[in-house]
Structure 1
Amino acid sequence: MFESLSERLSASLRAMAGKSRLTEDNIKDTLREVRMALLEADVALSVVKEFTDRVKERAVGTEVSSSLTPGQVFLKIVQAELQSVMGEANEQLNLATQPPAVVMVAGLQGAGKTTSVAKLARYLMEREKKKVTVVSADVYRPAAIKQLETLASEVGARFEPSSVEERPVDIVNRALKNAKTAFSDVLLVDTAGRLAIDNEMMAEISDLHKAINPVETLFVIDAMTGQDAVHTATAFNRALALTGVILTKVDADTRGGAALSVRHVTGKPIKFMGVGEKTEALEPFFPDRLASRILGMGDLLSLIEDAERKVDKKKAQKLAKKVEKGGRFDLEDFRDQLQQMKNMGGIGAMLDKMPGMGGMAQAAQSQVDTKQFDRMEAIINSMTPKERKNPDLINPSRKRRITAGSGTAVPDLNRLLKQHKQMQKMMKKMKGGGMQRMMRGMGGMMGGGGGMPPGGGMPPGFPRR
Structure 2
Amino acid sequence: MFESLQERLGSILNNLTGRGALSEADVSAALREVRRALIEADVQIDVIRSFVDKIRSKAVGAEVLKSIKPGQMVVKIVHDELVEMLGAEGVPIDLNAPAPVVLMMVGLQGSGKTTTSAKIAKRMTEKQGKKVLMASLDTRRPAAQEQLRQLGEQVHVATLPIIAGQGPVEIARRAVQAAKLGGHDVVILDTAGRTHIDEPLMVEMADIKKAANPHEILLVADSLTGQDAVNLATNFDSRVGITGIVLTRMDGDGRGGAALSMRAVTGKPIKLIGTGEKMEGLEEFYPKRIADRILGMGDIVSLVEKAAEHIDAEKAAAMARKMQSGKFDLDDLGDQLRQMQKMGGMGGIMGMMPGVGKMKDQMAAAGLDDSMFKRQLAIISSMTKAERANPDMLKHSRKKRIAAGSGTDAAEINRLLKMHRGMADMMKAMGGKGKGGGMMRQMMGGLASKMGLGGMGGMGGMPDLSKMDPKQLEALQKQAEAAGLGKGLPGGLPGLGSGGLPGLPGGLKLPGLGGPGGLPGFGKKK
Alignment TM-score, normalising by the size of structure 2: 0.80
The separation in 2 between residues aligned to 1:364 and 1:191, in whole angstroms, is 42
Distance change >3 Å, CA 233–CA 327, structure 1 → 2? same
Q: How does 1:105-184 map to 2 (within 5 A)?
A: 105-163=105-163, 165-184=165-184
Distance change >3 Å, CA 350–CA 104, structure 1 → 2? same
% identity of equivalent residues: 46
The separation in 1 between residues aligned to 2:292 and 2:510, in whole angstroms, is 25
Aligned counterpart, 1:431: 428
Structure 1: 5+ residue runs without aligned partners? Answer: 457-465
Alignment coverage as a number of residue pairs: 452
* More moved, 217-226 vs 388-397: 388-397
Aligned counterpart, 1:357: 356
Distance change >3 Å, CA 403–CA 161, structure 1 → 2? farther
Matched, 1:266 2:321: no
Q: Secondary structure at the match of 2:246?
A: strand
Distance change >3 Å, CA 62–CA 99, structure 1 → 2? farther
In the TM superposition, what is the alpha-carbon distance from 1:169 to its structure 2 partner? Answer: 1.2
The separation in 2 between residues aligned to 1:423 and 1:251, in whole angstroms, is 30
1:357-390 per-residue CA deviation (whole Å, 9 max, x = no partner) reads 0233576468346345345334434544332211
Distance change >3 Å, CA 338–CA 52, structure 1 → 2? same
In the TM superposition, what is the alpha-carbon distance from 1:414 to its structure 2 partner? Answer: 6.2
Distance change >3 Å, CA 75–CA 138, structure 1 → 2? same
2:291 partner amino acid: A
Structure 2: 5+ residue runs without aligned partners? Answer: 442-456, 462-490, 494-498, 512-526
Aligned counterpart, 1:463: none
Q: Secondary structure at the match of 1:142?
A: coil
Q: Secondary structure at the match of 2:134?
A: strand
1:453 partner amino acid: L
1:67-90 per-residue CA deviation (whole Å, 9 max, x = no partner) reads 432211110110000010010111
Aligned counterpart, 2:346: 347
Matched, 1:408 2:406: yes
Matched, 1:422 2:430: no
1:43-63 per-residue CA deviation (whole Å, 9 max, x = no partner) reads 001100110111111112365
Aligned counterpart, 1:199: 199
1:218-248 per-residue CA deviation (whole Å, 9 max, x = no partner) reads 0011000000110011000011111100001
Aligned counterpart, 2:215: 215
CA RMSD of aligned residues (A): 2.7
In the TM superposition, what is the alpha-carbon distance from 1:292 to its structure 2 partner? Answer: 0.6
The separation in 2 between residues aligned to 1:134 and 1:365, in whole angstroms, is 42
Distance change >3 Å, CA 395–CA 436, structure 1 → 2? closer
The separation in 2 between residues aligned to 1:50 and 1:224, in whole angstroms, is 23
The separation in 1 between residues aligned to 2:113 and 2:104, in whole angstroms, is 11
Aligned counterpart, 2:90: 90
* More moved, 305-314 vs 66-75: 66-75
Aligned counterpart, 1:337: 336
Matched, 1:453 2:508: yes
The separation in 1 between residues aligned to 2:62 and 2:117, in whole angstroms, is 48
Q: How does 1:369-384 map to 2 (within 5 A)?
A: 370-384=370-384
The separation in 1 between residues aligned to 2:396 and 2:22, in whole angstroms, is 68
Aligned counterpart, 1:460: none
Distance change >3 Å, CA 168–CA 365, structure 1 → 2? farther
Q: Is the 8 A contact 1:326 1:432 kept in 2?
A: no
1:59 partner amino acid: A
1:157-213 per-residue CA deviation (whole Å, 9 max, x = no partner) reads 111123562111110111111122222111011000000011111111111112211
2:508 partner amino acid: P
The separation in 2 between residues aligned to 1:435 and 1:362, in whole angstroms, is 34
Aligned counterpart, 1:282: 282
* More moved, 143-152 vs 188-197: 143-152
Q: How does 1:42-121 map to 2 (within 5 A)?
A: 42-61=42-61, 64-65=64-65, 67-121=67-121
* More moved, 281-290 vs 312-321: 312-321
